[in-house]
């Protein structure tokens, strides 16, 4: 790849997230949208909308390149249904195409471990699409954690109500077995962020929430969790996609154009430390730095410790993630969210599921204990 040459990226999957990636690639000065891969008529329409090539399969794209003497794309964004991530990514990796795979890598850690090792064998860089690591609100949060002293506890929520057409558009979302349900689709985002901020989770206990959508009996609607991190930090988290609420990452950061921004939202995360408490996304620090006596006898001061939320919203995490992916492809940066990170989040979600099934707390296994399932790669 010539240094001045735009990095060509193909988007595989034209569902909810794929077109968003295509839009950001199309608008990036250092990237070129190679095409859209999707077997559906929707995929063809998305390709037309973005004035790019359309392929109904990866093999069709590879054959086109071979027949026309065209170089394969430098990278690919895998935004297919969750259950297909591993085999789609492996097929692309077999041709030396670098990968940004949407979360979760898989519902099975053994499959993800196999993909991790296969990519290493093929010298393919693998970035897991936990794009919230690139969100300016999270960047600011991580920067200010050191001001809190010893972090003791945290609270978090991701609660809203999904419309029925969300499920009708992609029926795989209606079953946990096919990668659906809010724990696999949504909670995994927050688990990754919490582990990015506070280190790995050691133990989790979960209670499943009562269902409101009886017409989708195979998909969970969320859970209430208690978490203990290896660092000693403890926390609670509520995840639910069937309640009326603005207390979620998207409403608080304006990240998703389909979910209205709630500009006055405070505290979908609260981090409690010995020197203060940080509220996210409003980025208010509650502290007593004006006195040596940090007790209930002294007033607590509220102070904003970052640029105004409107300033933070001006930088889109998909753009920042794409900047990083381009640098990962050209070798100037290592993946900020590795396959190992993706597996760690996945193991935690699996533990949540097992806790719900057994009614017992679950210890998160070490990633080093995972044996690869190469059959899942389908190569």
Confidence (pLDDT) at 179? 82
Is residue 120 within 8 A of residue 167, CB to CB? The reply is no
- Backbone φ and ψ for 367, nearest 5 degrees, come out as -65, -25
Rounded Cα gap, residues 78 and 73, in angstroms: 13
Q: Residue 221 contacts by C-beta under 8 Å, 6 or more apart in sequence?
A: 181, 182, 209, 211, 212, 213, 240, 241, 242
Q: What is the DSSP letter of 191?
A: H
- Backbone φ and ψ for 208, nearest 5 degrees, come out as -70, 145
pLDDT per residue of the chain (379 residues) written in tens, 0 to 9: 555 689 999 999 999 899 999 999 999 999 999 999 999 999 999 999 999 999 999 999 999 999 999 999 999 999 999 889 999 999 999 999 999 999 989 889 999 999 999 999 999 999 999 999 999 999 999 999 999 999 999 999 999 999 999 999 889 999 988 888 999 899 999 999 999 999 999 999 999 999 999 999 999 999 999 999 999 999 999 999 999 999 999 999 999 888 999 989 999 999 999 999 999 999 999 999 888 888 999 999 999 999 888 888 888 899 999 999 999 999 999 999 999 999 999 999 999 999 999 999 999 999 999 999 999 999 8
Q: What is the DSSP letter of 180?
A: -
Long-range CB pairs of 52-56, under 8 A, 24+ apart, other chains included: 52/22, 52/26
Domains and CATH numbers, the chain: 7-132+319-335+366-377 (3.40.50.720), 133-315 (3.30.360.10)
Q: How far apart are the first and last CA of the chain?
A: 27
Confidence (pLDDT) at 98? 98
Rounded Cα gap, residues 379 and 377, in angstroms: 6
Paired residues of 222 in beta bridges: 240
**Dihedral (C-alpha) 320, 325, 327, 329: value to the nearest 10 degrees?**
-170
Helix, strand or coil, per DSSP, at residue 141: helix
Confidence (pLDDT) at 143? 96
Tokens of 61: 């794209």
Rounded Cα gap, residues 212 and 240, in angstroms: 11
Tell me the chain's radius of gyration from C-alpha atoms: 21
Rounded Cα gap, residues 320 and 253, in angstroms: 15
Rounded Cα gap, residues 234 and 227, in angstroms: 6
Rounded Cα gap, residues 182 and 185, in angstroms: 5
């Amino acid at each position: 790849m010539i240094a001045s040459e735009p990095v060509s990226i193909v988007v595989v999957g034209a569902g909810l997230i794929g077109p968003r990636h295509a839009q950001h690639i199309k608008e990036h000065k250092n990237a070129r949208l190679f095409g859209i891969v999707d077997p559906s008529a929707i995929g063809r329409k998305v390709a037309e909308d973005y004035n790019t090539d359309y392929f109904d399969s990866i093999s069709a794209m590879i054959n086109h390149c071979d027949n026309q003497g065209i170089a394969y794309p430098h990278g690919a964004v895998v935004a297919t249904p969750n259950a297909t991530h591993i085999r789609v990514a492996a097929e692309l990796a077999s041709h030396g195409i670098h990968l940004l795979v949407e979360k979760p890598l898989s519902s099975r850690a053994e499959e993800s471990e196999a993909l991790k090792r296969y990519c290493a064998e093929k010298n393919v860089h693998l970035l897991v699409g936990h794009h919230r690591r690139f969100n300016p609100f999270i960047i600011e949060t991580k920067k200010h954690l050191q001001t809190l002293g010893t972090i003791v506890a945290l609270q978090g929520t991701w609660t809203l109500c999904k419309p029925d057409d969300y499920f009708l558009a992609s029926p795989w979302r209606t079953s946990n077995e096919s990668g659906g349900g809010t724990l696999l689709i949504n909670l995994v985002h927050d688990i990754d962020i919490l582990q990015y901020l506070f280190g790995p989770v050691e133990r989790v206990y979960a209670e499943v929430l009562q269902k409101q959508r009886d017409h989708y009996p195979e998909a969970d609607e969320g859970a209430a969790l208690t978490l203990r991190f290896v660092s000693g930090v403890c926390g609670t988290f509520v995840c639910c996609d069937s309640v009326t609420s603005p207390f979620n990452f998207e409403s608080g950061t304006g990240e998703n154009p389909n979910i209205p921004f709630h500009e006055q939202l405070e505290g979908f995360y609260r981090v409690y430390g010995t020197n203060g408490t940080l509220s996210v996304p409003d980025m208010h620090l509650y502290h007593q730095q004006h006195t040596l006596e940090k007790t209930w006898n002294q007033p607590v001061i509220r102070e904003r410790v970052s640029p105004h939320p409107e300033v933070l919203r001006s930088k889109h995490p998909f753009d920042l993630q794409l900047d990083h992916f381009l640098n990962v492809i050209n070798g100037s940066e290592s993946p900020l969210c590795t396959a190992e990170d993706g597996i760690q989040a996945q193991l935690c979600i699996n533990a949540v599921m097992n806790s719900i099934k057994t009614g017992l707390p679950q210890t998160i296994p070490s990633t080093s204990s995972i044996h690869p399932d190469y059959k899942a790669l389908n190569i």
